[in-house]
Amino acid sequence: MIKSIINYIKEVLGGLKSLLKGMRVTGYYISHPKEIITQQYPENKDTLKMFDRFRGEVILLHDENNEHRCTGCTACEIACPNGSIEIISERVLNPETGKKKKEIDKFIYHLSMCTMCNLCIESCPTDAIKMGRNFEHAVFDRSLLTSVLNRPGSKLAPGVED
């Protein structure tokens, strides 16, 4: 009986020691502020810049001529663990070579299913897609989170091969 009371008191004292150790670390950071980490959103919306490593959404890059680097190889679609990327492509006859070549019709991205894991970006052999920094995706209808990433009339940039 006395042994169990002694063990109980030891456990309580051990818990208090652990609590004081944690509070000492907290007290140090309160008394020595280095930088402000908390962002006052939306008041700072004009000056807010997300960190370079932030992942907000997948973006298909286009240049000023409305050309992209996506060959339709579906490596990103295969790498995606949730199926948030769908590439619909067709084989089109190339008049210069006379051979059929794969050309993307639609690059569909389902943001509602994306976990921002970055596996699709790493698997893309032509660096056609990247992670954007947009984080404002609040909508009432989940279907609005599905978008077609290739622009109307866009085509494959010259020099990009499968």
Q: Where are the domains of the chain?
A: 1-34, 57-156
Is the Cβ–Cβ distance between 128 and 69 less than 8 Å? yes
Vertex 80: Cα angle to 77 and 84 (nearest 5): 80
pLDDT tens-place string over residues 33-74: 777 677 788 888 888 888 888 899 999 999 999 999 999 999
Span 57-156: which CATH code?
3.30.70.3270
Summary mean pLDDT of the chain: 89
Q: What is the C-alpha to C-alpha distance for residues 25 and 28, in angstroms, rounded to an integer?
A: 5
Mean pLDDT of 69-89: 94
Q: What is the pLDDT of residues 109-129, one digit of tens each?
A: 999 999 999 999 999 999 999
Quote the CA–CA distance of 8 and 158 in Å, as a whole number.
Answer: 75
**pTM (2 d.p.):** 0.72
Check residue 153 and give left, alpha or beta (phi > 0: left; psi -120 to 50: alpha).
Answer: left
Please give the Cα distance from 93 to 118 (Å, whole number).
33
DSSP result, 122-160? HH-TT--EEEE-------SSGGGGEEE-SPTT-EEPTT-
CA distance 130 to 120: 9
